[in-house]
Structure formats: C-alpha cells, structure tokens
Amino acid sequence: MRVTRRQALGSFAGGTAAALASPAAAELAPDWSSLAGAFRVPDWFRDAKFGIWAHWSAQCVPEFGDWYGRQMYIQGNPFYEHHLKHYGHPADRGFLEIENAWKAENWDPEHLIGLYKAAGARYFMALANHHDNLDTFDSRHHAWNTVRVGPKRDIIGTWEKVARAHGLRFAVSNHSAHAWHWWQTAYGYDAEGPRAGERYDAFRLTKADGAGTWWDGLDPQELYTGPAMVPPDGIASAQAMRDWHDVHSGRWMEFAPPENPHHVAKWLLRQQDLVEKYRPDMVYFDDSGLPFGSVGIAALAHYYRQSIARDGRIEVVATAKLLTPYQRTALVEDVERGVSDRLREEPWQTCTCIGDWHYNRARYEQKSYVPAARVIQRLCDIVSKNGNLLLSIPVRGDGTIDSEEEKILAGITRWMRRNGDAAIFGSRPWRTYGEGPTKVVGGGFNEGKTEFTADDVRFTTRKGALYAALLEWPEHPVTIVSLGKAALPDATIERVTLVGGGHVAFERGEAGLTVTLPRGGPDDFVPVIRIEGRGLV
C-alpha cells in the first residue's frame, strides 16, 4: 500500500471513533504546547523502577551481536566474514534470507515472562521493529512482518497477552525510523576480490524476482527501504568503501529522507497501527527527540489521544533520547547505556543490556555478561536519582535465553526478593541521591567507566522510612556523611537494620553515621540498610 505523508497525517487528524468520543482527546493537538499541557508522568511508571526488555529480532539468528544486517554488507568487517562463512555471499544470500530463517521454534513466552516477573520487572518491553525494518506484529501497513515472514506469528500480540496476564505493564520499542539510512550498505558491492563490483541483493532484487520463492508477493525494496545513499561505481578498495559508508550513511540521521517521503508516511501509519492494536503502556522511540519532526509529534499526539480515550487522562509513557528541557515536559528522557550525574527533578530512564543488544554467543562462551551485582549497583544509582532501569536480556533466535543469563536473572531475583519491596518499588528520592568517592559522569554510552565501592551510598525513601544502599558489601565500617549531626542537626537516628537481616551497629557523630555490617555471604551484594528516627524524611 503506497501512502503519502498527507494521507498519513490525515489518518491522525481523523483518529479513531473511541478517541473522538473523548472531548479531552479531541482537544489534544499535535504540537509541543498541547502535549506538554496534557502530560504528566503516570504514577505506575514512577513506582515501577525496573523493567525487562526482549530486544529480539532476526538479527539474533546469527548470534553474532549488534547491527548484523548493516555490517554484513561491509567487506572486511567481521560481520561480513561471518556471513560469508555461514550463509554465503551477500549478493546471493542477503539479510532478507536471515529474516526468513528466524523461526522462534523454542520460544516459551510464559516461561520467560515468569522469570522476568520473579526478577522484579514491573514492566516488560518487546521490540516491535528494528533498523532491519521487519515488524514483529500483525502489521496492516507493512507486509514484511512476522505473521508473514520468519516465525509466522504475531510476536507483539503474544508478548502482550502473556505480560498482561502476569500483571506487568506492557511496552514496545520502535526503531524503524532509521532503516532508510541504516540499510544503504545493502545497496553496495565488494570493492575488491573475485566478485568486485557485483552489487548486493538490495540493489538488484525487485518484487518480480520473488516469483516461486518463499517471498513471492513481497517487495524487497519495501524491506530495504529503497536506494538513498548508494555507493558509486569504481570504489577500488574495501577500506575506501568502508570510508564511503562512514561518511555518507554511517551517521545517526534524525531527519526525513528527502527522496523517500513514502518511508516517512508509512512509518507513521505503522506506529499508529501498533498502538491501536496492542494498547502499550509505554512506547520507546530509538531517536534523539521524536522521529521526523512534525510526523513524530503527530505520532505522539495520536498515542496520547488513545490513552485519554481509554483512561480519561494520559496514563502511558513515551521515551526518546537527548531531549531539550521543553521536550521533557511532554515525554520521558531515555539515556542509552548511561547514567545521570545528578538527581533529576523529572522521572527518566536508563536502557541498557547485560550483553549486546542482539544476542551474541561469544558473550556466553566468554562469560562476559554484566553480572547481577553490577546490574543492581546501576539500579540503585538510577533509582536514587529519580530514574527507572530498563534491562535487556538478549534472546537467541530460537526464542530461548542461555544458562549464563538465567544465572544472572536468578541473582537479580534473590536481591529483589530481599530488598525490592522495601527500598525500590514505589520509592522516591531523598533530599540527595547519595555520596561516595566514585565520580559519576552523566550521559549515554558511559556506564562501563564507573566502578563503585562500599563507600558509595545511594538513598531512597518509602512509606516514611529512609533506605541506604551500599554499592559494595563492606568489609569495614562505613561512615555516611549525609546522616551525621552536622548534615542533619535536627534529626535523630534511633535504629539501623539490614533489610532482610537484623540490627546493625551504628554510631552517630558530627561527621557522619558510622555503620558496621555483618560479613556478607558468597552470593550477597549491595546491602540495603533501613534508617529510622525523627526528622529524616
């Protein structure tokens, strides 16, 4: 179905019958002022604190890590070499064949959601599409979807039913705005070697070529988005080709492709279809700001109108990245693989992963996943600063997680059972997020630079009590300066207890509250203490 941007925006303007039935929804206009005036972060999100994400698509099939679809078309790249060895030359067997090889044959969503809930997740997010441009739902506007290709199942619809049955809020992530530039490597060619100059599959395949194949009736150009930044003929070395892609299509482009308005218009229709069908409590946009300017604003307004029609007010959350202060009045900021260096006034979220976003078998073999203790350190740091943690547990192409991932989930589960209801879920920040010798640098993609110690402390409050998480289990007395008589002259501290344990010896002086914890066991990490008294919260 070919649509124009005008038709797509017209679909938003008309809305659904349910949306039009609500005067508040009808009054919500697709502009920042209207959205900011209507939005407040719902309490369920502020209370949830922790979510788990299945960042699962066909790119998990090769078990080789992130951005497989783009990098397999770059000669000299390890992904190219992996594809050549295991699947064949990308001119003969391109990524569309990997889409179809995704069968999800061992997927047990009941089992996985059960693990995630036990680990403390209060919301679950499923990937609705990635930059490879395959919708994982029963998409009305995009034939390249998992009902027709690969698993032959409505992945999003199945996740949604199971998550809600387990009492979890349901979220989806939309990454397809970037497909138009991300896929341009598939229109290239080997610059050297025996097949130099021969264009890859995206350049030459048309709908007619599918006759008699598994993709009969599908148009590869709809998957690969069409040529926009095609390498010219005559590039003579693999390095020169890599350089060309880095300059022309390797940047993170937030604007609409001027030569491809169809992709933008259809993106909006797909997004509207997604939220109308599955009513997600949260939508994650993998974009700096909203996708495609006014089109992204129209998508957000449409999403909020759906919620107002159902709930009488906006009870959903949308996230995007690198937001301006004004944009943060209308949606929640997500910080990818990063942290905050301050206590933020408005709720926010970190999204991160224990490994690569897409399943990488090397992580399992090398045992290089982020361990449970490190996950909990990040959680406590983020929650103390008014944030939520969204954690991806990579899923294999067949729909399972590996034994190392199960061990990490088990460690998170043990900690959450002991501490979650006390100090995490439903908590709010204290007057300061914490203290300690470790300097935290805010921003995305910097989480690996922080190594916490037992003297790094993070605070939360809940039901009138003050909690302090020590980010390593201490082998020595720890002095918490923020709780000393000099810092809190009008407060008294009457009792300190270890959550899940007993009394903690303490001494309070001008310089701080010194606590001496019992020795932790081999599976213990990040102890949380409850501080009771007067004038603390």
Q: How does pLDDT run across 412-436, given as a tens digit for each residue?
A: 999 999 999 999 999 999 999 999 9
Q: Are 359 and 396 in contact (CB under 8 A)?
A: yes
248 within a domain of the structure (yes/no)? no
21 within a domain of the structure (yes/no)? yes
**pLDDT at residue 496 in the model:** 98
266 within a domain of the structure (yes/no)? yes
Same domain? 417 vs 445: no
**Neighbour-count burial of 307, counting CB atoms closer than 10 A to its CB (0-12 exposed, 13-18 middle, 19+ buried):** buried
Domain boundary among 401, 424, 447: 424
Radius of gyration (C-alpha) of the chain in whole angstroms: 25
Find the helix packing angle between 261-278 and 155-165, rounded to 10°: 30
Q: Could you give the 3-state DSSP secondary structure of residue 6?
A: helix
Same domain? 14 vs 54: yes
Same domain? 388 vs 339: yes
Question: What region, left, alpha or beta, does residue 305 occupy, with left being phi > 0 and alpha being psi -120 to 50 degrees?
Answer: alpha
Same domain? 308 vs 389: yes
Edge to edge, what strands does the sheet with 478-480 contain?
A: 478-480, 513-516, 505-508
Domain boundary among 403, 424, 445: 424
Task: State the Cα–Cα distance between residues 135 and 159, nearest whole angstrom.
Answer: 14
What residues of the chain score a pLDDT lower than 70? 1-24, 26
Q: Which of 110, 102, 92 is nearest to 162 (CA)?
A: 110
**pLDDT at residue 16 in the model:** 38
Same domain? 135 vs 268: yes
Task: State the Cα–Cα distance between residues 184 and 516, nearest whole angstrom.
Answer: 59
**pLDDT at residue 27 in the model:** 84
Same domain? 463 vs 484: yes
- Pairing, β 387-392 against β 348-353: parallel
Give the up-direction half-sphere exposure of residue 392: CA atoms within 13 A in the CB hemisphere.
Answer: 23
Q: Which residues form the domain of 480?
A: 434-534
Q: Are 255 and 292 in contact (CB under 8 A)?
A: yes
Same domain? 411 vs 438: no
Domains in the chain, number: 2
Domain boundary among 397, 424, 451: 424
Q: How far apart, in Å, do the first and last CA atoms of the chain sit?
A: 58
Q: What is the pLDDT of residues 48-79, one digit of tens each?
A: 999 999 999 999 999 999 999 999 999 999 99
Question: How many Cβ atoms from other residues are within 10 Å of residue 324's Cβ?
Answer: 10
**pLDDT at residue 488 in the model:** 97
Q: Report the amino acid identity of residue 35.
A: L
**pLDDT at residue 11 in the model:** 34
280 within a domain of the structure (yes/no)? yes
CA angle 137, 125, 226 (to 5 degrees): 45
